[in-house]
Structure 1
Amino acid sequence: MGNKKLSALVLLSLSSALVLAACGGNNTADSSDSSATGTAGSGQVLNLVESAEIPTMDSVQATDTVAFTALSNVNEGLYRQGLNGTVELGMAAEDPTVSADGLTYTFKIRDNAKWSNGEPVTAADFVYSWRKLVDPASAASYSYMMDGVVANATEIMAGDKKPEELGIKAVDEKTLEITLASPVPYFKDLLTLAMFFPQNQAFVEKQGDKYALSSGALLYNGPFVLAKWDAASLSWTYERNKDYWDADKVNLDAINVEVIKETSTALNLYDTGAIDRMILTGEYVTQKTGDPDLHTMPTSSVFYLKFNQQRDNPALKNANIRKALAMAFDKQAYADVVLQNGSIPANGLVPKGLALDPSTGEDYRAENGDLLSFNAAEAKTYWEKGLAELGQDSVTLELLSDDTENAKRSSEFLQSQLQTNLPGLTVTLRNVPFKVRLEADTKGTYDIELAGWGADYADPINFLELFQTTNGNNKSGYSNAQYDALIDAARTNVSDLDARWANLLQAEKILMEDAGIAPLYQRSYAVLQKPYVTDLAEHLVGAEYSYKWASNAGAQNAQ
């Protein structure tokens, strides 16, 4: 029974990692069966935009969507997501041999896997980066991804064992052995993620403090290499990596990327042919309704208000105040009026379409229902009760968000809704560059933050573990012992998947009852993409985009 359920979750994890066909694309094959061949020197170039700069290209330290997209296009782990979202071989030459107890994986690294300086990618490169990830000295936010997964990771992160005791070793130059703490049904999915990528120790140590802060202070083993980039750059270029093991599947010679935060500016560039793809928001979506270049891209990203319970502000430590704030804004109006891009209201943390009940096949979101919905009357009741408990008749709170055009409009909408529905509340706005917001999140210098999370892999625990007391990403001060215990049980129990699923359902209910966060919406993108852009992969989980198979068919046809 347990093995049958385990197989079901593995299949779910793989099948849920969907890639939506790019508009106009020929998405019938992945790299394992595609007959497409690269055309180096053909002049195939794409011009794209990003909403924010890349804070770091260190795969151990990266925490954001922009960095993960960049890393996944210039580097590669043992596996990668294919064009159609299936997990396929990357640096691994073949699927691993697995011990009978499901704990020991032995991989062979491709003989033709190279770094961009010509050196071979070795088993030791994985050992070095994985040890670095769990080393407390790294203070890596994503170290928790190995917690309870790789043998001894938990003890190393707690300072009770040394990084050298992590369950990973290089048997020889091209043979890597990984020992798990317990069987993990989504282990292959994890191995596609940036924090599990290799790093070349000699190169990293030679760069010292400059490592990963500019394109010249990096090595690459993926489809592209990065050029013209440093940590302050508002533009950069991906160039075709001629030494990549699968270079014949890479069609583009270059991708030019520019950070543009105003939708109006990007739209002007798109309409004049200066860029080939962009994301639309707000009234700009309405302007382009009916345009054949427009398509909707669902994502797994859920956005929410994060309440800082550690700051010296008693209001956010009060559960009734948090519940009032969480229920005081009209999410449907926000999606319809501000976003206008197909995004939907979120009344829980785990997104719709991510994972299915292992026995019934019911979607997690549908099964757990709407847990924290908009209700102005109830919000006011909680508000008045909270104010009475605080002995106050007014509260002032700051809302932190990004400085993009859409983020500013979102902040203003939330400010208006909260102040209108909660008498005595004053909300001040602080809109800052993306990198500055991440720094404020790390330091805890905010009251309320408009934040979000996209799935790394297709399992509810990827969202719910964020708010465990000890999780490196939980910098808000939320803590609930029962919640922690449920997440621990779900992480370690893979023999009874029904019980595991029940634990995950209950954990979300506790988080919502505590109003640890206030869910806002599940994001969709309204995408404008030129018809000559084909096979630009859009991923539901992990890095949002892969350019490995993308083509500029217009340039190709012009040859």
Structure 2
Amino acid sequence: MKIKSAITAGAVGISSLCLLVACGNKQQSSSKLVQWQQPGNLTTLDASKATDNVSFGTLNNSNEGLTMSAKNNTIKLGVAKNYRVSSDGKTYTFNLRHSKWNNGQPVTAHDFVYGWQRTVNPKTASQYSYLFDHVKNANQIGENKAPISSLGVRADGDYKLVVSLTKPQSYFKYLIAMAPFYPQSKAIVDKYGQSYGTSSSSMLYNGPFKVTGWSGTNDSWKLIKNNNYWNAKNIKFNGVKFNVQKDSNTALNQYSTGDLDLTNLVGKQQVGEFKNSKELHNLNMASTFYIEMNEKKNPIFKNQNIRKAISLAIDRNQFTKNILGDGSKPAQGYVSPGMPKHNGKTFVQDAGTNIGVSYNLNDAKKLWNKGLKETGQNSVDITLLSDDTDNGRSTTEFLQTSLEKLPGLSITSQNIPPKSRISRAQSGQFDMVINSWVADFPDPISFLSMFVSNGSYNNGKWSNSKYDALVNNAEGTDANNSNKRWEDLVNAEKTLMNDQGIVPIYYPVKPTIIKPRISGIQFFPTGSPYDLRNTHIDNDKH
């Protein structure tokens, strides 16, 4: 998931965190809403088109799928009241609750059929349609070789949903908790057309909250309790007001004066101020920040020596320790820590090497000069694209200084709103872009499937036939052999790093401070970032 977001239940090793915040000394808000700072804007409420963390967080609490993410990286039942799986692992039958949309209309199996069909429809251009690849005929539909109606999902009456897979998929129950698998109302999609999901009023909601006050461009919106939610009696607070504040110092001042209940800290100094505070929570994510190089737009990146030189010129230890200073760790590869162990070893232990993530400026210069000769260049001008957040600006400043030590390389940094950065990355309008990924479910394939040659998130168009074969084997011929599948994934990671298909930078944490009056928020390292269903507000806590 792009940080988006990005998405990513098994033993991940990073438990979801149910926060019971201790009392503090700072001024407390008495608002009946949680006041929550967001570093970037909401980009969409269309579950088929969401790609970023802000959108996924909002959607996860205003809508609901068959299952939901739960603590300790497990799942719990959502709209499905129960389900069974066939002995061959290829047929799932879900019995649905009698739940409602916020307008009082019933949520039925037909809404799930339509929502899934809409996501895989090529006309929707969903970047998450690839998650349906095990559903019968999904790939053929994506290639316009089969009708949308042939997708392996059908309604057996109003409250039974039957799903047919082409092959077993051990993590399917986690996928269906994600936004692309939510139900959607055909009547509402037809009513709003191209405007569907572009404002809070052009949507229906079947989750514990409904979104209000979002025009599509403004810097604040609310989640307000949805009284038609099937479990509304157990929602114990009124909701959340999200406020976009890109300047971390302003956000921290607002937190200190009681105008915010929850905000993220940025940088070494801010984190240090709360080092001994019970209000500070370092939220781990199964996530990696990395550089993509656009081989289609700028052919110089087709040269392996150029790609390797760029990676070798980056001192990740210095960056995470002295620039970020928030607990983030230097990348040891692309797949982040937090994946399940296999035969007692983590994925990073088996696949992580120094290749692709080491720092050696002398070697970088040698490879750079070699690459320039091979490409017939004397100098190179490159634009580096990133977000206009504090971390985004700090990252581009550090990388610009580091990379311009390569002879003849000139870097121009562009920091733009995350929504614009995501759009430009997806449309290939960049030389180099700093992207990030949060695993959608606890399996290395959530990372590695992105960079197959035809991957919908392979914005830089890197391509390697060996890598493609390894990923395809892990999802196909070796899918039911855990040892062979693990070996495929480990070798895929090593292939990606040996060829420097991307440049991993760091594994982030999210230092977050929360007022004592707020408790019960669950944060997740994979998939949707948080769940508000068990949140409480206690204005008597100080």
Which TM-score applies when normalising by structure 1?
Answer: 0.91
Kept in 2: contact 1:25–1:536 (CA 8 A): no
Kept in 1: contact 2:442–2:526 (CA 8 A): yes
The residue aligned with 1:18 is: 15
Give the paired residue count.
524
The residue aligned with 2:289 is: 303
- 1:14 Cα shift? 5.5
The residue aligned with 2:190 is: 205
Out of 72, 92, 98, which is 1:105 matched to? 92
Question: What pairs with 1:160-199 in structure 2 (closer than 5 Å)?
Answer: 160-199=145-184
Q: What amino acid maps onto 1:502 in structure 2?
A: E
Between the aligned partners of 2:39 and 2:31, the Cα distance in structure 1 is 26
Question: What pairs with 1:219-230 in structure 2 (closer than 5 Å)?
Answer: 219-230=204-215
The residue aligned with 1:428 is: 412
* Contiguous gaps of at least 5 residues in structure 2: 1-8, 24-29
Matched, 1:406 2:403: no
The residue aligned with 1:539 is: 524
| Higher mean C-alpha deviation, range 426-435 or range 248-257 | 248-257
The residue aligned with 1:316 is: 301
Between the aligned partners of 1:146 and 1:46, the Cα distance in structure 2 is 35
Kept in 1: contact 2:21–2:278 (CA 8 A): no
Between the aligned partners of 1:197 and 1:308, the Cα distance in structure 2 is 33
The residue aligned with 2:48 is: 60
- 1:107 Cα shift? 0.6
- 1:86 Cα shift? 2.2
Residue-by-residue CA offset, 1:145-185 (whole Å, 9 max, x unaligned):
111x1011111111111110000000100010000110000
Question: What pairs with 1:59-458 in structure 2 (closer than 5 Å)?
Answer: 59-94=47-82, 96-111=83-98, 113-147=99-133, 149-282=134-267, 283-311=269-297, 313-357=298-342, 360-370=343-353, 371-372=355-356, 373-420=358-405, 422-458=406-442
Between the aligned partners of 2:276 and 2:84, the Cα distance in structure 1 is 51
- 1:474 Cα shift? 1.2
Kept in 2: contact 1:15–1:86 (CA 8 A): no
- 1:25 Cα shift? 7.6
The residue aligned with 2:460 is: 476
Kept in 2: contact 1:307–1:316 (CA 8 A): yes
Between the aligned partners of 1:427 and 1:43, the Cα distance in structure 2 is 46
Q: What amino acid maps onto 1:202 in structure 2?
A: A
- 1:127 Cα shift? 0.4
Kept in 1: contact 2:90–2:167 (CA 8 A): yes
Residue-by-residue CA offset, 1:180-209 (whole Å, 9 max, x unaligned):
110000011101101111101112111212
Q: What amino acid maps onto 1:73 in structure 2?
A: N
- 1:355 Cα shift? 2.4
Q: Provide the identity percentage.
A: 38
- 1:400 Cα shift? 0.1
Q: Aligned to 1:535, what secondary structure does the other structure show? A: strand
Q: Aligned to 1:215, what secondary structure does the other structure show? A: coil
The residue aligned with 1:527 is: 512
Q: What amino acid maps onto 1:453 in structure 2?
A: W
Question: What pairs with 1:495-534 in structure 2 (closer than 5 Å)?
Answer: 495-534=480-519
Q: Summarize the Cα distance change of 1:515–1:476 in structure 2 as closer, same or farther, 3 Å threshold.
A: same
Between the aligned partners of 2:460 and 2:292, the Cα distance in structure 1 is 7
Which TM-score applies when normalising by structure 2?
Answer: 0.94
- 1:223 Cα shift? 1.0
The residue aligned with 2:4 is: none
- 1:254 Cα shift? 2.0
Moved runs in structure 1, 4+ residues, more than 6 A?
A: none
Kept in 2: contact 1:83–1:535 (CA 8 A): no
Between the aligned partners of 2:458 and 2:45, the Cα distance in structure 1 is 22
Residue-by-residue CA offset, 1:417-461 (whole Å, 9 max, x unaligned):
1112x1221111111111111111121110000100001100000
The residue aligned with 1:34 is: none
Between the aligned partners of 2:363 and 2:352, the Cα distance in structure 1 is 18
Q: What amino acid maps onto 1:18 in structure 2?
A: S
